[in-house]
Structure 1
């Protein structure tokens, strides 16, 4: 885990004694406007000269705003018209703080990023960050997720529902295509074996079952069903030619296995054709 937030930027904090200001008959907002105009600049108006418009800003010259001590030399006019030095009511203290203050959903925030260690899934990493936050939680402190982590936490626990809906959608499409319920059931029997094989190889390779893996498993349902559709179609055609169920099944598997074997045997610009 890491963050780009730092709180070590040198700064100056100006504390204004409001009771002292009131005793000197100085308006607080007038004092702040004067301080801001001298040290940071303030827009006044525009004027036109030689057919060009210029903006007018007021600001103390560089030599009079070079040091924090220069703040005390600024005069503020009181309500009665008298001039009061700011060093009588202001105290300058050197501090450290963040260079920039970020906001998330209107709240001041610190962005913390992290990556899952090898062998751990993104879900485990999210759980670890949540546990860490609970251990250091303070009153008035909250957290939220952004990016892929936000989408993953919102869709957490829906993987099984997505797989079930995918299987149901494929089943209904196949049932409408074949106009029966037997062939779709036979086709979908290949789905559990395909998913089991994919999860087995994911485990052997030491990969994690993250969001990308789950999306791939949903796609695998369609790919496995497509392969099974062709096998069932070849078997139905063989049955129409008078073959038995066993002969039709074996013939369909051989017909489907031939292009797969041809693809794997393609090497060095030559093709090794499968021959029965």
Structure 2
């Protein structure tokens, strides 16, 4: 972010629920002179009002950045609308596909692919630590952007190269995802089963169960751990007070039996409907 936006000639518009890593990157950009405005979560009317109040100038650049799949609520950025706003207002669009890579889209290319707006995205950010199962990250961009970042991104210039075994493992994971699309289908089948049991829309493999009080979230997480399920409690300051939750993250590595057992455990805690559990 400091390399892309670290200039007084750059204005950045950031979703208020973007990941902390983006927020920290924008702090570096702001220290270098960038102007940063935060729009209400997924509120495209608010974003457009900010864009209209700060029109583009020949010597300036405007950048909108958002997660595509938000990590705490499991909801998506309105990418189709963002693409429309990009055409209307002429900004650069950067998206963080950390939780959508290999999960969303027919090819697993992410939420932008699923929304049909890949061509409207200027910078695709992602991580290798989620579905890819490794560590590190990536940025997919034009050759011109690559040349700029290779020269100016301090975190890249003054870091060491990714270890070869990690690069090989990431490459192998991408090959598996391409050659075995049934893994992605299995994941979404799990999402459908669990979201149906919880009575929530089938949106993503991140399913939050908001329970309110921090103490209750911790107790429920501990009970589920004792029952054999790692369902972490998310509490302030990660989420606002009063919205502590259990964060369920599904994987293609889970079996159908795993998901059924989790539903029954949640039902035992009063978190899934008894009728839903009985149908399984």
TM-score (norm 1): 0.16
The structure with more helix, counted as a fraction of residues: 1
Q: Which has the higher contact order (CA 8 A, sep 6+)?
A: 1
